[in-house]
Chain A
Amino acid sequence: MSNISYLNNNTEIAWCPGCGNFAIRKTMDKVYQELGIDKKKFVMVSGIGQAPKSPHYLDVSFFNGLHGRSLPTATGIKLANPELTVVVESGDGNVYGEGGNHFLHALRRDIDVTVIVHNNMVYGLTKGQASPTSRKGFQTPVQTTGVLLEPFNPLATALGLKGGFVARANAADAEQTKEIIKAAIQHKGFSLVDLFQVCVSFNKTNDYKWFKDHTYYLEDDYKPDDRMQALQRAMEEDPMPLGIFFRQENDKSFHEKLPAYSKDNSPLYRRKVNFEELNKIMDEFV
């Protein structure tokens, strides 16, 4: 627990007034305070979008990279220095669309990062195109006759890929969201939080009322230790459950399984070349 603020006021916030991101920013500040996150050993990674601007507005080190590429970057950062806590914040377009391929394989790796997907069912930065999670029939200036595609189901996908921590939250419920995200960060391994939020400027359909009417919380006695049950709940389309669907840790993190970290757990930048060992290996070929 720390009582220093994680908010950063050094730069102007470039979000629309009323943007759902403001509440998330406040929630993340509380999350980091309650977990006592060490700012010097912490990195936020994001792609491109409105959600990816989040790290700019917090007092953290960050890598705000390319659209869709939050996960490969986060993977590299974590593997180069597992002492760092890595949190990814990006939008549904970034993680499930452009970065969809990386999503699948990061889950398979079970890399120890926390992925918070700001799911507002639209591409907000680019002003209103349908995203992978837009509902069928959603009308936009590009999808003029309404979306024809089945929405992407991130929870079912993550569960099918043996994801170790799969959850969904609603940013409008700050307290519940805070607890879910805290649990996600503390989980050893890949954690996914699909975080519903509103986009007041470009998604007039899925507003606060819509999310409230089409979601409900998992029962208090729901046990998140049965993957098949979790998968069944994740396939519910309307209303959609909120909460921690499934949670199970593996004994080893991905990096702990790699040869590079089998005998030495120091970050790569501190390592030295072992010329003696290298030459011994070379001698085997002579």
Chain B
Amino acid sequence: TTEAFELTRQAFDIADRYQVPVFILTDQYLLDSFFDTPRFKIEGEQPVNHIVKTDADYRRYRLSDTKTEIDTTAETELHPENDPHSETDGLSPRGIPGYGEGRVRVDSDEHTEEGYITEDVVGVRPPMVRKRLYKKHRLLQAAALPPELIGPAKYSTLVVCWGSNRNVAVEAVRKIGSDEIALLHLTQLYPLHPSVAEYLYRAARTCLVENNAGGQGADLLHHETGRKIDEKILKYSGIPFSVEELQEKIEKIAGVHNE
């Protein structure tokens, strides 16, 4: 529960800092559940609003501080994320109307640094795409939230879950109490923290727990890490997992024998 509160706070900060939409994945199961939770502290620094005061010559979609000739070299085409002609980190400082001297022009069509619609497919569009996609993606990956490993560090079977399944999966894995079985709870699904791949590759056997028929979480993990997920525990009746049900299924996969 504390995680739900804290992650939500972080989600807003990520959205503001990196200027991207952030999806907080809740579901009816989480929102219908009641929890007892210790009184956690709400304190700390004031949130940063990541807004700049605009100068008279403010450009909302600034590519870089220095006006260099836009010129696509072969090197940039091979490594678009290293494009020297746009902001190193893919972020143009965000100004808002009413705070400063400048005009803030925001557009949904492709646009120049000043925010005007452009049809310049040579000089403007490619560097803008490189800034928004290749460069920012690197930034978002570096800022990804790490997963949580519950259980033995030297596991051979790794159960993977995300979202509202955390508590039921933790309880199931603890009840099994095997020093071969651990649980990896993914706090952030995309972009994935680099440790997720490490945890997956260390397992002899991986198993994903999800409430759907397609097991798309496994596809995502495979796509992003290259590690194919060995087993899937899927429930698609619309009802959440029970601890006993999940425990039974995990034991079966891990080959644990019940006395």
Closest chain-A Cβ to B102's Cβ sits at a distance in Å of 8
Known contacts being A61-B97, A269-B49, A282-B42, is A56 close to B106, with CB within 8 Å?
no
Residue B96 interfacial (CB < 8 Å): yes
> CA A101 – CA B125 in complex, angstroms?
33
Q: Are A66 and B108 in contact (CB under 8 A)?
A: yes
Residues of A within 8 A of B106 (CB): 62-65
Chain B residue numbers with a CB within 8 Å of A84 are: 97-98
Which residues of A are found within 8 Å of B116, using beta-carbon distances? 10-11, 56
Tell me which residues across on chain A come within 8 A of B43, comparing CB atoms.
Answer: 275, 279
Binary CB contact string for chain A from 252 to 275 against chain B (1 if under 8 A, 0 otherwise) = 000000000000000101001101
Could you say which of A39-47, A147-155, A156-164, A242-250 contacts chain B?
Answer: A39-47
CB<8 Å pairs between A and B, sample of 22? A40-B97, A42-B97, A56-B105, A56-B117, A61-B103, A61-B104, A64-B105, A64-B107, A64-B109, A65-B108, A66-B108, A77-B97, A81-B97, A83-B98, A267-B98, A269-B49, A275-B43, A275-B44, A279-B41, A279-B42, A282-B42, A283-B39
Flag whether A53 is at the interface (Cβ < 8 A). yes
Count B-side interface residues using an 8 Å CB cutoff: 26
A62 touching B105 in the complex, CB below 8 Å, given contacts A81-B98, A286-B39: yes
Most buried by B among A63, A77, A272: A63
Q: Is the interface of B mostly helix, strand, loop or mixed?
A: loop
For chain B residues 74-101, which have a beta carbon within 8 Å of chain A?
Answer: 96-101
Alpha-carbon gap, A272 to B44, bound state (A): 12
DSSP majority for the A interface? mixed
Give Cα A83 to B97, complex, Å: 10
What residue in chain A is nearest B49 (Cβ atoms)? A269
Q: Hey, what's the 0/1 contact readout for B27-67 against A, CB within 8 Å counting as 1?
A: 00000000000010111101101010000000000000000
By the criterion CB–CB under 8 Å, are A282 and B96 in contact?
no
Chain B residue nearest in CB terms to A63: B106
Tell me the bound Cα distance from A283 to B46 in angstroms: 20
Given contacts A40-B98, A63-B106, 7 further A-B contacts (CB under 8 A): A42-B97, A56-B107, A62-B105, A64-B107, A64-B117, A273-B47, A282-B39
Query: Once the chains bind, are A64 and B98 in contact (CB under 8 Å)?
Result: no
Asked whether A59 lies within 8 Å of B103 as measured between CB atoms, the reply is yes
Instruction: Give a binary string over B96-140; 1 marks a CB under 8 Å from any A CB, 0 the rest.
Output: 111111011111110000111100000000000000000000000
A-B contact count (CB 8 A): 66
A91 vs B203: C-alpha distance in the bound complex, in angstroms? 58
Chain B residues within an 8 Å CB radius of A267: 98
Nearest-neighbour CB distance to chain B for A145, whole angstroms, equals 34
User: Do B96 and A269 touch (CB < 8 A)?
Assistant: yes
Query: Is B97 a contact partner of A48 (Cβ separation < 8 A)?
Result: no
Q: Which residues of chain A are within 8 angstroms of B103 by Cβ–Cβ distance?
A: 39, 59-61
**Contact surface of B with A, Cβ cutoff 8 Å:** 39, 41-44, 46-47, 49, 51, 96-101, 103-109, 114-117
Chain A 195-211 per-residue mask, 1 if CB under 8 angstroms from chain B, else 0:
00000000000000000
Complex Cα gap A77–B116 (Å) = 20
Distance between A39 CB and nearest chain B CB, rounded to angstroms? 7
Query: Is A272's CB under 8 angstroms from B105's CB?
Result: no
- Bound-complex Cα distance A40 to B54 (A): 10
Q: Does A278 contact B (CB under 8 A)?
A: yes
CB distance from A269 to the nearest CB of B (A): 6
In angstroms, how far is the closest chain A Cβ from the Cβ of B108?
Answer: 5
Cα–Cα, bound, A273→B49 (Å): 12
Question: Is A14 an interface residue when CB atoms closer than 8 A count as contact?
Answer: yes
Which B residue sits closest to A286, measured CB to CB?
Answer: B39
The contact of B46 among A11, A66, A83, A273, by CB within 8 Å, is A273
Complex Cα spacing A42 to B103, Å: 9
Q: How far is the CA of A42 from the CA of B108 in the complex (A)?
A: 19
B109 to A41, Cβ gap below 8 A? no
Q: In the complex, which residues of chain A have a beta carbon less than 8 angstroms from the beta carbon of B99?
A: 269
Top 8 nearest A-B pairs (CB, nearest first) are: A61-B97, A11-B116, A61-B104, A64-B107, A63-B106, A43-B97, A61-B103, A278-B42
| In the complex, chain B residues whose CB is within 8 Å of the CB of A275 | 42-44
| Closest partner residue, chain A, to B107 (CB atom) | A64
B108 touches A64 (CB 8 A): yes
With a cutoff of 8 Å between Cβ atoms, the chain B residues found around residue A66 in the complex are 108
**What chain A residues lie within 8 Å of B41 (beta carbons)?**
279
User: Which B residues are CB-close (under 8 A) to A39?
Assistant: 103
- Select which of B42, B46, B47, B97 is within 8 A of A41 by beta carbon: B97
Question: Which chain A residue shows the least CB distance to B37?
Answer: A285
Which chain A residues border B49 with CB–CB below 8 Å?
269
Chain B residues with CB below 8 A from A55, complex form: 105
- Residue interface bits A54-91, CB-to-B below 8 A is 1, else 0: 01100111111110000000000100010110000000
Q: Are A41 and B105 in contact (CB under 8 A)?
A: no
Query: Which residues of B have CB within 8 Å of A11?
Result: 116-117
In the bound complex, CA of A61 to CA of B105 (Å): 5
Q: Which residue of A lies closest to B105 (CB)?
A: A62
